[in-house]
Each structure stands twice: as structure tokens, then as C-alpha cells.
Amino acid sequence: MVVFLSSKPSRETFIRSLVDLLRKAETRLSDDVVNAIKKAETSEESPVAKSQLQAILKNIEIAKTHGVPICQDTGILIFFVELGSEFRPDFDLEAAIREASALATEEIPLRPNAVDPLTRKNSGDNTGNGIPDINWKLVPGKQLKITVAPKGAGSENMSALRMMNPTEVEGIKKFVLETVTSAGGMPCPPLTLGIGIGGSFDKSARLAKEALLEPLDSPMNEFEKEILEAVNALGIGCMGLGGSTTALAVRVRTAHCHTASLPVALNIQCWANRHASIVFGGDE
């Protein structure tokens, strides 16, 4: 879901547009995700799994119709910003993104999820030290593109990262299968699996998260298909109650890494694969 706004925004318009963007991301799933879930429901043979997929589709409809969040875990807010080198904002973008997050929390509303990691004290407005998580990328051009991907804890908690032995490339699939098996129904399958391979310890995790933003209807490569097929053969099914669709898609992203390293990160996404984008300032 991408919205285009041709003129360069004022601070006020920018914040208002981000609140709208967050509302969209939290209350509607994009067509590629809904279609993938519908396809899973049609092909499912287990009556229990089918009932769960039907409840999911009903829930998606209710959220869309009433404009309420799809899931009560409205996530922590993760932003991906692509800032064009010729886009010159006349206000502090980061401060404005933080302000929009707090405003959206009150208006939509979103569940306040951000807590201090040690005292567990809730900030009350989804902002805090390092939250929202804003990832900056400088790109050529005149545009500013912002994607928001709210991420719930159920699936995030089941994600894993392993520094593998460089000679263990064949073990990547096994690592994914073991992680998905031990997660069972906890991350709310049917899942999307984002796999980041290479880079460094932290870069592999970022690659895995970015992989989850890819549309579910774009074609998978052979490696991704092989993993998807094996994951679905496990029979974990919707919500871990058994069934034929445990994952809807597998997305792999790679980066060159140290010759002595093989970082592999698996970011697990629940069925509610929420994200939305907006592009500012294309016309100038």
C-alpha cells in the first residue's frame, strides 16, 4: 500500500499524513496478504485449521469496516525512511516521526507497548529511548519515502539469529525448520518468514526484517520455494492446531559477509503482515 503526496509537506501535513499512514497499516492488510490467506483457507483440509483461517478473514473484514486495529498488539512502530539527497525538509524529521507516533497512539488508538527494558515502565505513548525504531537510508532523488511496519511481540519473540559455521550453508534450512517447529502455534501462523543471510551479526537481522516488506505475490526463487515447501510439510498449520499452511511465503535477502562468518537471521512474521508506505515530494 503506497500513498503519493506530490508537494513537499509542511511539518503539520507531514505529521498528519503519518498518522493516516499508521491508521492504514494498523487497520488494513494489503491485497497480496489477504489473497494469500484466502488461498490458504481454500486449500486447507483440516476443519479446525479452516475454522481458524475463516475467523482470520472475518476479523480482517471487521477491522477494515470499523477502522479498528486488526490485532490488539498494535506492535512497536518500525519506520524505514528513504531520504532523497535532493529532498530538503525544513523541520526535524525524526522529531516529527516521534510526534506522529505519539499522536497516532492517542487518536487511532494504538496500545501503548513501549516499556523501559529493565524497569518495564510503560511510556504510555509508544515513544521512548530508541522507539519508534527509525531506519534511515540515503538515496538519490527528490523524494522522501516512509514505510511503517508495526511489529507485534508474538512473532518477534519467536525469531532467532545464529552465527553459523561458514562451511554449514546446508544447515540454514535446518535452522529455519527447527526454529519454526519449536515456535509451533505461538507466532500466529500462517507466517511470513524473512531470512537475512550474511552481512554481520546485526545486519543479518535487519535484512531479515526488510525481507518481510516484500509483496507476498511476487515470485519466490528456488531456495525460498524449497524452504517454504519443507516448512509446510511440518503440518503445524494455522495457530499450531495442525494443517497444511504453516507459512504463506519465504523471503531471503543476502549481503556479503566476512570469509570466516555466516550470520543467519530468521525474522518471523504473523499472518497480520502489516505495513504501509507514503512518498512525499515527487513533483519538484
What does the binding site for another protein look like in residue numbers (CB under 8 A)?
Answer: 48, 51-52, 55-56, 58-59, 62-63, 66, 68-74, 109-113, 115, 120, 122, 124, 152-154, 157, 174, 177-178, 181-182, 184-188, 230, 233-237, 239-242, 270-272
Torsion of CA 269, 31, 231, 253, to 10 degrees: -60
Nearer to another protein by C-beta: 40 or 83?
40
DSSP type of residue 189:
S
Nearer to another protein by C-beta: 62 or 95?
62
Nearer to another protein by C-beta: 146 or 239?
239
133-139 β-sheet, strand order: 2-5, 276-280, 144-151, 76-84, 133-139
Phi then psi for residue 254, to 5 deg, are -125, 160
Nearer to another protein by C-beta: 246 or 277?
246
Beta bridge partners of 247: 191
Nearer to another protein by C-beta: 36 or 93?
36
Residue 170 beta carbon to another protein: minimum distance, rounded to whole angstroms = 11
Nearer to another protein by C-beta: 51 or 200?
51
Distance CA 16, CA 49 (A): 40
Q: β-pairing, 262-269 with 160-164? A: antiparallel
Residue 234 beta carbon to another protein: minimum distance, rounded to whole angstroms = 4
Residue 254 beta carbon to another protein: minimum distance, rounded to whole angstroms = 23
103-to-4, 17, 170 alpha-carbon distances in Å? 22, 11, 47
Residue 206 beta carbon to another protein: minimum distance, rounded to whole angstroms = 24
DSSP type of residue 241:
S
Residue 75 beta carbon to another protein: minimum distance, rounded to whole angstroms = 11
Distance CA 158, CA 94 (A): 29
Residue 80 beta carbon to another protein: minimum distance, rounded to whole angstroms = 23
Residue 251 beta carbon to another protein: minimum distance, rounded to whole angstroms = 20
- Residues whose CB falls within 8 Å of the CB of residue 120, separated by 6 or more in sequence, listed in order: none
The C-alpha angle 213, 214, 216, rounded to 5 degrees, equals: 115
- 275: cell is 505495513
262-269 β-sheet, strand order: 160-164, 262-269, 191-198, 247-255
Nearer to another protein by C-beta: 112 or 282?
112
Distance CA 46, CA 31 (A): 25
CA atoms within 13 A on the CB side of 88: 2
Nearer to another protein by C-beta: 84 or 187?
187
Residue 179 beta carbon to another protein: minimum distance, rounded to whole angstroms = 11
